[in-house]
Amino acid sequence: MQNFNMSVSKVNEFSEYLNETSGSAYMRVVRDLIRFDPFEGNKFYIFSFMKLKDRERFHQPRLTRPDPIPGGTLIKVDPRNPDKMTLCWTLPPEESFGLYKYKKAFADQFVFECINTYKKNPGQLSKPDADDLSDDACRELYKGLKARVDKVKNAEKANSSFAAV
């Protein structure tokens, strides 16, 4: 049997990671993103990752699958069916990969399979789903979103200039 040694700070970081990914705050963020519907009714991914330096967790809505990273989680959601989510993959911090094996402290078959796929063929985790939008459709949707954001920014800029007069 192999031992996995972790410093106290790494154990604390890992504990925080587990609290973030399994806690109600995380699910609240996910529900809020689904309600916000950033891509006009289209299914989208929520890529969650932690910057250990800042100890902050980020949640990025996106139309395409990102490359997997340790400490990251990817779920797919449909704003037209907000009660259903698909967990595509989740990877703990790399130094804790060994803890997810059978009979280890955090043994979990799904996470273990994600880790193995990441180690052997990480590109497999970023392959698009059959129902994902085409690259051209994604570009068009992003252009429309940018145009709306620019319109809002210009309106705010005009209002602040008017208020300064």
Nearest alpha-carbon partner for 120 in 95, 97, 104? 97
Amino acid 140: pLDDT = 93
pTM: 0.76
pLDDT digits (tens, 9 = 90+) for 129-138: 999 999 999 9
CA distances from 6 to 14, 52, 95, 98, 131 (A): 10, 15, 8, 11, 41
Name the helix (H) or strand (E) containing 129. none
Confirm if 69 and 86 have CB atoms less than 8 A apart: no
Confirm if 61 and 38 have CB atoms less than 8 A apart: yes
- C-alpha 140/C-alpha 137 separation (Å) is 5
Region of residue 72 (left: phi > 0; alpha: psi -120 to 50; beta: else) = beta
- To the nearest whole number, what is the mean pLDDT of the chain? 83
pLDDT above 90 for 91: yes
Nearest alpha-carbon partner for 108 in 127, 124, 92, 84? 92
Amino acid 23: pLDDT = 61
CA distances from 98 to 59, 94, 111 (A): 26, 9, 11
pLDDT above 70 for 165: no
Amino acid 7: pLDDT = 47
Assigned token pair, 71: 């400490």
